[in-house]
Structures are given as C-alpha cells and as structure tokens.
Amino acid sequence: MAVSATLFSLGTAPHPSAQAGSIVVESFTQVQRTAAAKVQAFGLVANPEPHIPAGRSQSSNPAEGSRGIIGLTDDRVPMTSRSYPWSAIGRLQSPVDSTTVTICSGTLVAPDVVLTNAHCVINPNTGQIKPDITFHPNMVDGRVSHPDHIAHAVDLIYGTDFSDSHRIPHPQDWAFVQLDRPLGDTYGTLAWTPLSVGELVRNHRNQIITAGYSGDFPAAAPGRTAGVHVGCNVLGEVEGSLIHDCDTYPGSSGGPMMTQINGEYRIVGINAAERTERATNPSTGEVIASQGIVNYGVKIQTVVDFLRLAQR
C-alpha cells in the first residue's frame, strides 16, 4: 500500500475560449504594504456579519432546481441552487496554457473579497503568484448568471508562500483574494465562526457541509458545477490542521466547510487537501484501487488570529 497526500487545487479543466482574453494581473502588493494596511484596504474584520442581498432567495437545499471520497459511497449532490448561501460560493481558476486552467473553489466573505487556500493562488513549488486569477460566482453547468460577473483578482493576502514548508497539510494554507468588482453585493457574503476542534467534533456531528468544484464531479461535466456534501464531520486535528471525512476531490480546494449556528450558515474551516491509500498489483505495479483515508482543512481560528494581530 502507498499513502499519498494531494492538494485539492490540482484539478484541471478546459480553458473556455470566452476567457482567453482575460487580463493577466501584472503584480500584487503582498510585500508593498503592511498586513494591517492590507487588511484595512480589503475591509476585513475578525468578526464579520453575513450579507444576504435584498431579493436573493434563501435555501437549505444545494440541489434546488435540479474524490477524495471517504468510504464506499460518494455523498455529494450538485450545487445547482442560485439561492443563498450557495450563491456566495464560486470557482477560482488560473490558466496553465491556452487550453487548460487549474481550478479551485472560494467563498465571498466581503463585497469584493474571496476566502480560499493559499495554494489556490500561489504555486507551492515556486512560491510565485499564479497568473490571471479569476472568480466565477455561483457557477452552475459552467455558467455564471451574467458574464460581467466574472471578476479578476487585483490583490492578495496569504498565510504562506510555502517557502517554509511544502508539507501537506499546511496550517497557514489560507488566502484572501481581492476582486475588481463587489460581487458580494449581488451574491451575498458568508461570515465565519472560529469554533474549537473539540466543539466541532462534539457538537456538530453529521452537521458539516462542504462545497467545491471537484475535478471528478459531476461525472458528465467535471468541475462545471460544485459538489456539496451535507452532513459530514470534523474528526479532529493533526499538525494544526482539521481532519474531516467530507467527500472531496482535487479542484475543491478553498471551498468552505460550513455548519449552521443559530440558524445562520457559518464558515468553520477551509477544505484543503486529501490523504489517500493506493493499492497496487505486486506483479505489474498497476494501481488497482485508491481510497481516501482522511481529508484536511484549515482552521478558521488561524485566519481570525491573523486578522486580530493585523488590527492591533
């Protein structure tokens, strides 16, 4: 048996011709401003409130209107709903070449800010910012509600550039992406609540929800509609990162781990990576099975600690 760990942004998808002319961001200002100034410029606070736009419907059903897989079954459903909170979740992507993009997932947490993983915007192998990052809000079947709502990244704040460690999981694998337009005013924003691992394990059993644009789901058009697993679990933590049993696959990196608190959907973690066990034929070396052992997530408390320190 071989055990491997995989970052969830490694899914790829065809590069649609409609996006071929999108702007390549020339530079970001990660080292040009202090953390405090950037946090202020992004409009971030440690204890945000969610925003539900007037007229935006709400639904608890992500499949309304229509793999690091743990165990033997895939419990994901397609996120076809245009209602809140699903409307605040979208697909991040960056071109590899003229025909392929890497895909990740993210959540609007301020009018023009998306929360995701650092490895979704930074190449962990080079430490370089990925080119031409765009955010596609509430993508369903490869489409957003209006083409003008595809936003370009203009600035970043990230927890790590992976120069300190390439190990998976990385407890600082989080990032904020500032967009060139306030999509949260239209699609809504989600807030977070930093719950302890013990509280997540004890009090939110079978209550965690993950959503992300996985490279294996839906089978007919992978990565074009988000997959949602309702009712999974945080199992504990290892090396400062959450471990969970939600069904995921590369491409779902940066997607929210949510639960309902006092009737509100709140982000309690960020889906990040998987650990799988691979069985091979001893005679040929051919892979004959691959099964998820456990998946990793970033603790929201880590993000909140950064914001509080930056705002002192």
C-alpha distances in Å from residue 312, one per residue of 35, 57, 194, 251, 289: 11, 37, 19, 35, 51
- Res 70 pLDDT > 70: no
Tell me the one-letter amino acid at 136: H
Please compute the mean of the pLDDT values over residues 137-165 and round it to a whole number. 94
Q: pLDDT at residue 68 above 70?
A: no
pLDDT of residue 96: 85
Mean pLDDT of 103-126: 95
Which stretches within the chain are classed as H helix? 35-42, 184-187, 197-203, 300-310
Q: How confident is the model at residue 24 (pLDDT cuts 50, 70, 90)?
A: very low
In DSSP terms, 21 is beta-bridged to none
> Could you give the C-alpha distances from 62 to 29, 146, 188, 266, 294, in angstroms and in order?
36, 20, 15, 15, 24
- Supply the Cα-derived Rg of the chain in whole angstroms: 18
* 35 band by pLDDT with thresholds 50, 70 and 90: confident
pLDDT of residue 36: 86
Amino acid at 39: V
Could you tell me the two tokens for 130? 């990925």
Domain boundaries of the chain, sorted by first residue:
2-19+35-43+66-310
- Residue-wise pLDDT tens digits, 177-223: 999 999 999 999 999 999 999 999 999 999 999 999 987 777 788 88
pLDDT at 109 over 60: yes
The Cα–Cα gap between 203 and 121 comes to 33
Instruction: Tell me which DSSP letter residue 25 carries.
Output: P
CB 162 within 8 A of CB 119: yes
Prediction pTM value = 0.85
Q: In the predicted model, what is the mean pLDDT of residues 55-77?
A: 70
Instruction: Give all strands (DSSP E) within the chain, no chain letters.
Output: 2-7, 12-14, 77-78, 89-95, 100-110, 113-116, 134-137, 151-158, 175-179, 191-192, 208-212, 227-232, 234-238, 241-244, 256-261, 264-280, 287-299
Task: Give the pLDDT of residue 301.
Answer: 97
Helix, strand, or coil (residue 115): strand
The SS3 of residue 88 is helix
Q: How far apart are CA 182 and CA 193, in angstroms?
A: 23
Mean pLDDT of the chain: 83
CA–CA–CA angle 173, 176, 177 (5° rounding)? 125
Residue 246 has pLDDT above 60, yes or no: yes
pLDDT recorded at residue 26: 46
Give 2-19+35-43+66-310's CATH code, choosing from 3.40.190.10, 2.40.10.120, 3.40.50.150, 2.40.50.140: 2.40.10.120
Q: What is the mean pLDDT of residues 280-302?
A: 69
Q: How far apart are CA 139 and CA 232, in angstroms?
A: 23
Cis peptide before 218 (omega within 30 of 0): yes
Structure confidence at residue 226 (pLDDT):
93
